[in-house]
Amino acid sequence: MQKTKKAIVFGTGSFAEVVHFMLSKDSAYEVVAFTVSKDTIKDTTFLGLPVYPFESIESFIASYEAEMFIAIGYAKMNDVRAEFMSQAKFKGYKLLSYLSSRAQHWKDTKIGENVFIFENNNLQPFVEIGDGTILWSGNHIGHHSSIGKYCFITSHVVVSGHCRVEDSCFIGVNATIADDVKIAKKNLIGAGALITKNTDYAEVYTGTKATILNKTSDRFFQ
Ligand SMILES: CC(C)(COP(=O)(O)OP(=O)(O)OC[C@H]1O[C@@H](n2cnc3c(N)ncnc32)[C@H](O)[C@@H]1OP(=O)(O)O)[C@@H](O)C(=O)NCCC(=O)NCCS
């Protein structure tokens, strides 16, 4: 794809590495630099690109020269990503969003800033995705459902139709939200959990864990 825009990625962890990969392979953005807080810089380059201190990033690349993506995961229930998004905006940077060419969606899907949507997400009609939300690979977001700001939806999550996931939630792999359910702010929905009723602020849910059989595998598939 032709590169028409420049991007600075905040972070030098594995999420930042994946963001660099996706933007390079599947977007109009050329990643030109990384940035992190000054006291966390371990190396002056990452993936062959310069790493600049975030505190003075504007003296290296001005906000009119490049957009920024804050590639921070769900630390402190997404508050760290939200805080650096706010600081980057205060410095004047536009926060870019990425929607994989391998995701399914409709052209009028409302997607906020600093949103990253990986491959095989299926966004049905009338879905809205708030600022700072990450949809890792393979989720289903049902029709008329909205995901708030600063959420982290991991992989193979099913959000059924007419749901509302409020701000700063984490939803673990293979979790299922039944239709017409509201997930309250700062909820942590564990891997494999099934949620059938509205939840309350900052609750944590887990599903049913696997049980171990008192047998060894050599007894099977003879
Ligand atoms: C909910 C979660 C954060 C709980 O974390 P945790 O620190 O492992 O929880 P604990 O160790 O205190 O577990 C308490 C009990 O709940 C069980 N449990 C934890 N998470 C569970 C889950 N998702 N489903 C079923 N049982 C679960 C544990 O096995 C443990 O049971 P035990 O007391 O009988 O041994 C975590 O299990 C989880 O689901 N994380 C999300 C994983 C994920 O989606 N990762 C993708 C990242 S990109």
Express each pLDDT in 24-64 by its tens digit: 999 999 999 999 999 999 999 999 999 999 999 999 999 99
**What pTM value is reported for the model?**
0.96
pLDDT of residue 92: 98
**What is the C-alpha separation between 88 and 185, in angstroms, rounded?**
24
**86-106 pLDDT, tens per residue?**
999 999 999 999 999 999 999
Q: What is the CATH number of the domain that holds 22?
A: 3.40.50.20
Determine if ligand 1 sits within 6 Å of the CB of residue 173: yes
User: Domain tally for the chain?
Assistant: 2
Q: State which of 153, 206, 208 you would mutate to test the pocket of ligand 1, scoring each by most atoms of that ligand within 8 A of its C-beta.
A: 206
Q: What is the phi/psi pair of residue 16, to 5°?
A: -60, -40
In a domain, 38, yes or no: yes
Nearest CA owner, ligand 1 atom 7: 190
Could you tell me if residue 208 is inside a domain? no
Quick one: which atom of ligand 1 is closest to the CA of 154? 48
173: CATH = 2.160.10.10
Q: Which residue has the tokens 């049980």?
A: 211
Q: Is 196 part of any domain?
A: yes
Question: What type of residue is 88?
Answer: A
**For residue 212, is it within any domain?**
no
